[in-house]
């Protein structure tokens, strides 16, 4: 199972250059070059901090009445958390370049509770030219309350993903799917245990 080391925030404060850089996001179900996706994470005594930086020269950002409407058709980055690999339950954050968040609880397989709220999530997003970034923090107490982070534990199961959409010449939109961990399913699917890795909070 793949691991990502989450380093502590230094005494001087949150500095993303202190974080390990993760760039292993590929099109698992297509034969084409993936645009750059960078993920970083740090932690302190209260929160898990994370950041995605994505190169995208054709943003797809549809309008909609609700965050769910806007996010599901949008370019976005995603984090899933799970207490264990049964995925019963697991928790999903799908976040768009303009800061919309679709947060939901789910049970394997794809039984969604769209009314679930992620307590304490803070998020900012920014688009600059052909790049966008999504930066957030999540209370460790929230992860503990969800039993994602067990008492006295330093590891948690997480999936890291990017949905990379682009406009086609016929005015339709192509949906591309980029996981950190390739689940090797026949069809695109992030909602399976094989797409999860481990985030390890180190001292």
pLDDT of residue 10: 95
pLDDT of residue 187: 97
162 within a domain of the structure (yes/no): yes
| Percentage of the chain lying above the pLDDT 90 cut | 99
Give the domain CATH number at 77.
2.60.40.1190
16 within a domain of the structure (yes/no): no
Token pair in block for residue 68: 């769910």
Q: Number of structural domains, the chain?
A: 1
Query: Coil, helix or strand for 197?
Result: strand
24 within a domain of the structure (yes/no): no
45 within a domain of the structure (yes/no): yes
Closest CA to 100 of 81, 124, 118, 83: 124
pLDDT of residue 31: 95
| Percentage of the chain lying above the pLDDT 70 cut | 100
Tell me what the mean pLDDT of segment 28-50 comes to.
Answer: 97
Separation between Cα atoms, residue 99 and residue 126, nearest integer Å: 8
- Give the single-character DSSP code of 130: T
Distances (CA, A) of 130 to 37, 63, 78, 114, 115: 12, 20, 19, 31, 33
35 within a domain of the structure (yes/no): yes
Distances (CA, A) of 172 to 24, 35, 167: 28, 20, 6
Domain extent at residue 75: 3-11+29-172+182-201
Label residue 105 exposed, middle or buried (CB < 10 Å: 0-12, 13-18, 19+).
middle
């Amino acid at each position: 199972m793949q691991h990502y080391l989450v380093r502590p925030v230094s005494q001087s404060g949150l500095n993303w250059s202190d974080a390990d850089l993760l760039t292993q996001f590929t099109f698992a179900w297509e034969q084409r070059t993936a645009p750059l996706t960078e993920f970083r994470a740090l932690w302190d005594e209260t929160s898990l901090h994370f950041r995605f930086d994505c190169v995208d020269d054709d943003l797809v950002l549809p309008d909609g009445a609700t965050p769910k409407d806007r996010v599901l058709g949008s370019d976005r980055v995603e984090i899933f958390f799970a207490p264990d690999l049964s995925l019963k339950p697991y928790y999903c954050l799908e976040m768009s370049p303009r800061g919309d968040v679709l947060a939901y609880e789910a049970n394997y397989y794809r039984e969604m509770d769209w009314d679930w709220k992620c307590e304490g999530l803070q998020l900012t997003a920014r688009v600059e030219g052909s790049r966008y970034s999504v930066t957030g923090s999540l209370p460790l107490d929230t992860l503990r309350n969800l039993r994602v982070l067990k008492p006295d534990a330093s590891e948690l199961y997480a999936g890291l993903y990017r949905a990379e959409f682009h406009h086609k010449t016929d005015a339709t939109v192509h949906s591309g799917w980029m996981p950190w961990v390739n689940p090797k399913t026949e069809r695109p699917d992030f909602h399976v245990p094989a797409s999860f890795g481990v985030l390890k909070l180190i001292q």
